[in-house]
Amino acid sequence: MAAPRPSSAPVQLARGVYQLRNLVAKPVYWWYERRLRRKVRTGGKLPQHLGLILDGNRRFAKAAGVQREIGYEFGIDKAHEVLQWCLELGIPAVTIWVLSTDNVKRDPAEVAHLMKLFDREARNLARDPRIHGNRVRVRAIGQHGGFPDHVLDALKELEQATASYQGMQLNIAVGYGGREEIVDAVKVYLQHQAEQGATLEQAAEGLGPDDISARTYTAGLPEVDFIIRTSGEIRMSGFMLWQSVYSEFYFCDVYWPGFRWVDFLRALRDYQGRKRRFGK
């Protein structure tokens, strides 16, 4: 495990209360979880590329009567936990959406706090034995032009530390928007065509879906086949617009920090029970 994350007394107290509640409930779910896990492992194909929209951190904090910042700390804890679940099940590629381009426009104090968390967690992941032991390649995808230098340095350190790995491919979508991704892909395509001496008319004539796919942030990975969103919101909010054309979706009422192993197994079991048609 990575070095313990520095936490204030309120965060430690909130974590303790939450862990105690989970400990009390664990015997109730133990048998059910074990049964579900066995069904998931033997029940069919797992997603090759899983998308996770980590929604509900602030509402979790409000419902628990704690500060908003504590909700984000719980959300980080849960992201580490779900990463471990994905490793245990052998899911090859995972993209988690932690900050949208719209989120960057929130209250500056809140955004500054989030940037500190991204800095801290990127550096922790760069040293996490699970990442190196499982040879997880981590990439930060999105638009990071307005990020502070210390955050950019931390994200670069994380990517460089895992660049040679061929295990799970973990994308952290931060400063990410689906429309922006498509625009960026078109820009890269046009720049490439201009470098080859093509006119604008020639570039437009030659543009096809494969040209966009090859220039998305997740180029080279399978298109996302299963997307889970927590918090009860039944919308995509622009997540992986290009890659999700044939995705299966699962919307879970629980807020992200409260997302349990049993919730994850239920989602995967639901996915395994679907017949995918790919538009046919």
Q: What is the pLDDT of residues 47-59, one digit of tens each?
A: 999 999 999 999 9
CB 137 within 8 A of CB 166: yes
Q: Distance (Å, rounded) from C-alpha 33 to C-alpha 54?
A: 22
* Cβ contacts of 186 within 8 Å, gap of 6 or more: 207, 212, 215
What's the pLDDT at 14? 52
Q: Is 57 annotated as a binding residue?
A: yes
Residue 92 falls within a domain, yes or no? Answer: yes
What's the pLDDT at 35? 87
Residue 28's pLDDT band, with cuts at 50, 70 and 90, is: low
- The more confidently predicted of residues 16 and 222 is 222
Residue 2's pLDDT band, with cuts at 50, 70 and 90, is: very low
pLDDT 10s digits, 124-180: 999 999 999 999 999 999 999 999 999 999 999 999 999 999 999 999 999 999 999
* Structural domain containing residue 142: 42-272
Residue 1 falls within a domain, yes or no? Answer: no
The pLDDT > 70 percentage for the chain reads 90
| Four-point Cα dihedral 113, 68, 238, 242, nearest 10 | 60
Work out the average pLDDT over 77-89: 96
Residue 21 falls within a domain, yes or no? Answer: no
Work out the average pLDDT over 5-27: 54
Work out the average pLDDT over 265-277: 94
Residue 28 falls within a domain, yes or no? Answer: no
Q: Looking at the annotation, which residues are catalytic?
A: 55, 103
Residue 259 falls within a domain, yes or no? Answer: yes
Q: Is 229 annotated as a binding residue?
A: yes
Q: Is 237 annotated as a binding residue?
A: yes
pLDDT at residue 15 greater than cutoff 90: no
Query: What CATH number corresponds to the domain at position 212?
Result: 3.40.1180.10
Cα–Cα nearest to 87, from 133, 121, 27, 118: 133
Residue 261 falls within a domain, yes or no? Answer: yes
What's the pLDDT at 277? 85
pLDDT at residue 206 greater than cutoff 90: yes
Residue 30's pLDDT band, with cuts at 50, 70 and 90, is: confident
pLDDT at residue 6 greater than cutoff 60: no
Q: Distance (Å, rounded) from C-alpha 185 to C-alpha 44?
A: 34
Helices (H), the chain: 9-42, 57-64, 68-89, 108-126, 129-133, 149-162, 178-195, 200-206, 209-213, 261-272
CB 83 within 8 A of CB 171: no
Work out the average pLDDT over 212-231: 97
The total number of structural domains that make up the chain? 1
Neighbours of 213 (CB within 10 A): 15
Q: Is 101 annotated as a binding residue?
A: yes
Work out the average pLDDT over 74-102: 96
> What is the identity of the amino acid at 133?
G
Residue 1's pLDDT band, with cuts at 50, 70 and 90, is: very low
Residue 6 falls within a domain, yes or no? Answer: no
- pLDDT averaged over the chain? 91
Q: Is 231 annotated as a binding residue?
A: no
